[in-house]
Structure 1
Amino acid sequence: MSVDILVVEDEPGLSRMLATTLSAQGYTVTTAMRADEALARVAVDDPALILLDLGLPDRDGLSLLPQLKARCQAQVIIVSARAQESEKIAALDAGAEDYLTKPFSVAELLARLRVAKRRRQEAEPVSQRYRVGELEIDLEQRLVVLAGEAVKLTPKEFQLLAILAQSGGRVVTHAQLLQAIWGRHHSDDTHYLRIYLRQLRQKLERDPGEPRYLLTEPGVGYRLAAE
């Protein structure tokens, strides 16, 4: 059996609300209230997406995350009351695709689900082209076009933009970007990212102070906008 969404949430009222809301939107939904139950459900249901609370009664959701990722191909969105930047970074570094802080609106949740669904669809096969608004990125040809005009980027600028494009709208943490571009010994050199993001925004944004494409998740990382 394959379902659209597995909701891993130990608060009964919220779990019921999520299941009812998502079912009304046409998703097939199953629920779990404990980590051991979530692992069992993954084996049976093979969900396309998992909404994962971190505060589970039998273990911390963060420690559960790698096991879930190892057992299925689901996109994982953390749904948690923990709003600290360190918690978000840890979850994203551990493999979560997104992080939604409680309380949240149904509209925001549904928007995140649409992005996750689109990202999953685009992953097979991996797209070599990315387009949003007037920005086009061709990874195979190493070509960036803005409003019909080719934009010249340095190798490092293109590498940074390519990583964000391949993440399909998902936040990429500072550490992930630094290790991918400069190596593991530079995981704390966030000033590198600030410099290159500023240069990219000067080349790609109509108003670098109010970016449309290259978005910041404060204290966590960056993402490329997804339509």
Structure 2
Amino acid sequence: MATILIVEDEAELVKILRSYLEASGYSVLIAKRGDQGLALWETHHPDLVLLDLNLPGMDGLDVARAIRRKGETPIIMLTARVEETDRLVGLELGADDYITKPYSPREVVARVRAVLRRSGAVRTVNSVLRSFDLVIDLDAHTVTRGGDGVELTPTEFNLLVAMVDQPGRVFNRLQLLEAVQGTAYEGYDRTIDAHIKNLRAKLEADPKEPQYIETVYGVGYRFRKE
């Protein structure tokens, strides 16, 4: 499991990024100050750093300089700055990628995967998930059950991937909503129940006695471990 260090002082943004990255199988460390982020990097040696430029305690560019003096950890800079000079300075310091706010959390996860793949820092995240008789191809965006294709909507597909990627983990409705929509505020969390019902209708032999997606009463849902 790759470890991603997020150095960012916007709490809501950190919450969403963390949810997406963990749903994609990454371990996540959080720092809200630049100096704290550098200390975590020195202590934990993460596989990649998501680094905001405007930080209290220590500017993001200074953090990047300090990291580059001591190591080659991949860095993706996150910033609201739009000036070309800021971008060029960041890249000249050795940043591997540069994302300007606002951005999609899915885009960030995709960039993280791409940078890790290019750097060879860790094993590439599996593009195919398998559990029981289900095969989920992330690149082709297809699902088969026992060799037969299963037609899912994009929301159903993302919901299934989030759960299958971490079997046995209990997700509450808000976490699942974030995983499929990108933010906790774009929909009512009870809509997840409708998506789960539709998924079960397409995947389960008997939706009333589900074998894949289990309900954890009072909490949410989980995909059953083999």
TM-score normalised by L of structure 2: 0.51
Determine the structure 1 residue equivalent to 2:159.
none
Matched, 1:77 2:76: yes
Tell me: higher relative CO, structure 1 or 2? Use CA pairs within 8 A at least 6 residues apart: 2
Determine the structure 2 residue equivalent to 1:67.
66
Q: Provide closer, same or farther for how the CA distance between residues 123 and 26 of structure 1 changes in structure 2, counting only shifts above 3 A.
A: closer
Q: How many pairs are equivalent?
A: 123
Amino acid at match of 2:15: R
Amino acid at match of 2:50: L
Determine the structure 2 residue equivalent to 1:25.
24
Amino acid at match of 2:55: L
Do 1:65 and 1:94's aligned partners in 2 also have CA atoms closer than 8 Å?
A: yes
SS at match of 1:10: coil
TM-score normalised by L of structure 1: 0.51
Do 1:3 and 1:30's aligned partners in 2 also have CA atoms closer than 8 Å?
A: no
Amino acid at match of 1:100: I
Determine the structure 2 residue equivalent to 1:7.
6
Aligned-residue offset at 1:12: 1.1
Determine the structure 2 residue equivalent to 1:38.
37
SS at match of 1:52: strand
Amino acid at match of 1:4: T
Determine the structure 1 residue equivalent to 2:114.
115
Determine the structure 2 residue equivalent to 1:102.
101
Identity across the alignment (%)? 39
Do 1:42 and 1:72's aligned partners in 2 also have CA atoms closer than 8 Å?
A: no
Distance 2:79 2:100 in 1: 5
Q: Provide closer, same or farther for how the CA distance between residues 19 and 52 of structure 1 changes in structure 2, counting only shifts above 3 A.
A: same
Q: Deviations over 1:60-97 (max 9, x none)?
A: 21122110223343100001011111110010011111
Q: Provide closer, same or farther for how the CA distance between residues 3 and 38 of structure 1 changes in structure 2, counting only shifts above 3 A.
A: farther
Distance 1:72 1:46 in 2: 9
Distance 1:10 1:60 in 2: 12
SS at match of 2:107: helix
Distance 1:45 1:12 in 2: 22
Unaligned runs of at least 5 residues, structure 1: 125-227
Q: Provide closer, same or farther for how the CA distance between residues 25 and 122 of structure 1 changes in structure 2, counting only shifts above 3 A.
A: closer
Q: In angstroms, what is the RMSD of aligned CA positions?
A: 2.1
Unaligned runs of at least 5 residues, structure 2: 124-226
Distance 2:43 2:89 in 1: 28
